[in-house]
Amino acid sequence: MSADVTDARISPRRLLQLTAFVSTLDRFAMPPMLIAMARDLDVPLTQIVQAAGAYFLAYGLMQPVWGMVSDRLGLVRTMRLALMLAAVMTTAAALTGTPLALGLARGLAGACFAAAIPASLIYIGDTVPAQRRQRDVTDLMVGVALGTAVASAGAGVLAQLMSWRIAFVVTGLAALALVVALRHLAEPPRTRVQRHPFAPLAQVARSGPARLVLSLAFVEGAVLLGMLTLLPPAVEAAGVGAATAGAVTAVFGVAVFGFARVVGVLSRRLHTSRLIALGACSALVACSLAALSRSPAMAVIAAVLLGLAWAAMHSSLQTWATEVLPAARSTVVSLFAGSLFIGSAFSALVVAGPAEANRYGEVFAWAAAFMVPLGLLATRGRARWRRPEGEAA
């Protein structure tokens, strides 16, 4: 990222990575604790999975709202406001005693954390030339990777040895610390001035490529994020503790961290469509392996392959979202993230029953089946797409 956008003591790249880290820390804290939470609240696992779905649904629905707010209030101000509210809401989740209260608190936390990563992507889109954007988006994934690893391993350990409630207190404090740190991130110049707040939505609706990207994000959220949400309880249902199940999922974060650097290098040599194809194939194999076995060893292999899929395919789709409609970039990026997590919420609602019945193999088999058309459409669509005139290279 160019140094001329800020004179802060902390580089924009590091601050954006930190934003991705904290947001992901909260998002991935819950999956390793699902079974422990159900036992503590003495309710069926289905109700806790649905509470997790409420988080993803609110996270997704609020994306376009925060996108429109950021166009008027500014990216950095929006992030700081949203994270302040998120700190309150996620801490409140630690004090709940019923599935309804938990779902409400987590839903509100998701609605507030929703501003973090999309705003970071918009910041990159507004300040980084298109030819370097894939690399910078991949760098942002490093923060996601670390947040995933720390949340998955740490939350599982806390749930098994102490209490799942502590994890939400930790993420709340982390969000407060980030509000302070983001004072050092300079506000980029505002280049999108709309007469009406819903004008960018109309632009997106008229754009075929934008609609395609958003549709792909929905299916990706249902498959990849849905699988990541269920992997810890699936492993735990096979007979291991929450700490071990969380550690298996933490491998995903470590894999993303490692593969993000590799994809960053490959992005200078390979067309983006080939990176998408690589990620789709990796995810297909991961889902197929998880359908065959949920043993810790097989789950580790699946988590590594999912890490490659996230680094290669997801970062490529994210980069595409920043390029597909520059005049409405904040709206497209926000809708992209919204589609991703609405897809994840939809998946959580659909698979809650099979998960309660311990039919994880069936769920992962369906994920593998949906990955085939997703990979084909995404690869072909990106190969045929051409950057619009006026988008700087």
Local confidence pLDDT in tens for the 393 residues of the chain:
443 444 446 777 788 888 889 988 888 888 778 888 888 888 888 888 878 878 878 887 887 788 778 777 888 888 899 999 999 999 999 998 888 898 899 999 999 998 888 788 778 877 777 667 767 777 777 787 788 778 877 887 888 788 889 999 999 999 999 999 998 888 876 655 555 656 777 888 888 888 999 999 999 988 888 887 788 788 877 777 767 777 777 788 788 888 877 887 887 888 889 999 999 999 999 999 989 988 888 888 998 999 899 888 988 898 888 888 877 777 788 788 778 878 887 887 787 778 778 888 888 999 999 999 999 999 999 988 876 654 544
DSSP secondary structure of 121-179: HHHHHHHS-HHHHHHHHHHHHHHHHHHHHHHHHHHHHHHHHS-HHHHHHHHHHHHHHHH
Write phi, then psi, for 106 (nearest 5 degrees). Answer: -70, -35
Q: Is 384 exposed, middle or buried (0-12, 13-18, 19+ CB in 10 A)?
A: exposed
∠305-271-206 over CA atoms, to 5°? 100
How confident is the model at residue 190, as a pLDDT?
A: 64
Q: 314 near 375, Cβ under 8 Å? A: no
Q: 169 near 91, Cβ under 8 Å? A: yes
How confident is the model at residue 5, as a pLDDT?
A: 41
How confident is the model at residue 112, as a pLDDT?
A: 92
Enumerate the H helices of the chain as residue ranges. Answer: 12-27, 34-41, 45-61, 63-73, 75-93, 99-113, 116-127, 130-161, 164-181, 199-206, 208-220, 226-237, 242-266, 272-292, 296-309, 315-323, 329-356, 360-384
- CA of residue 103 relative to chain centroid, distance: 19
Domains in the chain with CATH codes: 9-185+198-384 (1.20.1250.20)
- pTM score, two decimals? 0.70
Q: 121 near 322, Cβ under 8 Å? A: yes
159-192 b/e with 16+ CB inside 10 Å = b?
bbeebbbebbbbbbebbbebbebbebbeebeeeb
How confident is the model at residue 393, as a pLDDT?
A: 45
Q: 96 near 173, Cβ under 8 Å? A: no
Structure tokens at 184: 């050092």
How confident is the model at residue 242, as a pLDDT?
A: 67
How confident is the model at residue 338, as a pLDDT?
A: 78
Q: 62 near 115, Cβ under 8 Å? A: yes
